[in-house]
Structure 1
């Protein structure tokens, strides 16, 4: 059996956001080795290395990198994961979008009217100056 190295990509907060194996990485720049071994867990580390999915149901990374640890990763606490959660923004209704669209149309028309007024003023001033 072949020996494979497991690599991880780490985000700015130290969470593991991606895993892969030396079997599939030709360039490990930007990756950190977190383990090595034989078998499917190491060969297909993308989905088989951790016992649980890399992300929870909200899309929050479940594991953290531990540079001096053995293993070099740990499962993040619920409090750590909750701190990363950003609730989705409420979706606007069609009526709200229609009202916003109407307001924007009125603002654009007002700016166009003002631009025409300024152009007329400049033309009138030019006629006074050059008479």
Structure 2
């Protein structure tokens, strides 16, 4: 008896960026919204999350691949940089607040020492 082929599916966002990639062993029960992109034998197809792509699916917090005409394509450096620029700026940490207070304190002390506190 021949082993059936393993399938590879992707889930994309509205801009065709690949959010998830799953092989046969980890396919969700409901494939609504998923696109089949390949099938074959071996770990590349069965364990697609770790064996299908040359690079990780994400570049930090940014999606690295997109789907173009049912083919996975690595996004350009410009596309990735545009996504990085659009990320929300992180909130200041407690350390950032403390450093800002220390700088302000040093500034005020310097003004006092120079007699410019009026």
The answer to whether TM tops 0.5 is: yes
Displacement of 1:95 in angstroms is 8.8
Query: In the comparison of the two structures, how many residue pairs are matched?
Result: 93
**C-alpha RMSD of matched pairs (Å):** 2.2
Change (3 A) 1:12 1:39: same
1:37 matches 2:40: yes
Q: Indicate the structure with greater strand content.
A: 2
1:46 match: 49
Runs (5+) with no aligned partner, structure 1: 98-131
The C-alpha deviation readout for 1:79-128, integer Å capped at 9, x for no partner, is: 0011111153241437959xxxxxxxxxxxxxxxxxxxxxxxxxxxxxxx
Runs (5+) with no aligned partner, structure 2: 99-118
CA distance in 1, matches of 2:88, 2:9: 30
Q: Which has the larger radius of gyration?
A: 1
1:8 match: 10
TM-score computed with the length of structure 2 as normaliser: 0.68
Change (3 A) 1:93 1:10: same
Structure with the larger RCO, 1 or 2 (CA within 8 Å, 6+ apart): 2
The answer (yes or no) to whether the contact 2:24–2:47 under 8 Å persists in 1 is no
Change (3 A) 1:24 1:96: closer
The C-alpha deviation readout for 1:36-61, integer Å capped at 9, x for no partner, is: 111101000122110100011x3101
Structure 1 counterpart SS, 2:37: strand
Change (3 A) 1:14 1:93: same
| Off by >4 Å, runs of 4+ in structure 1 | 94-97
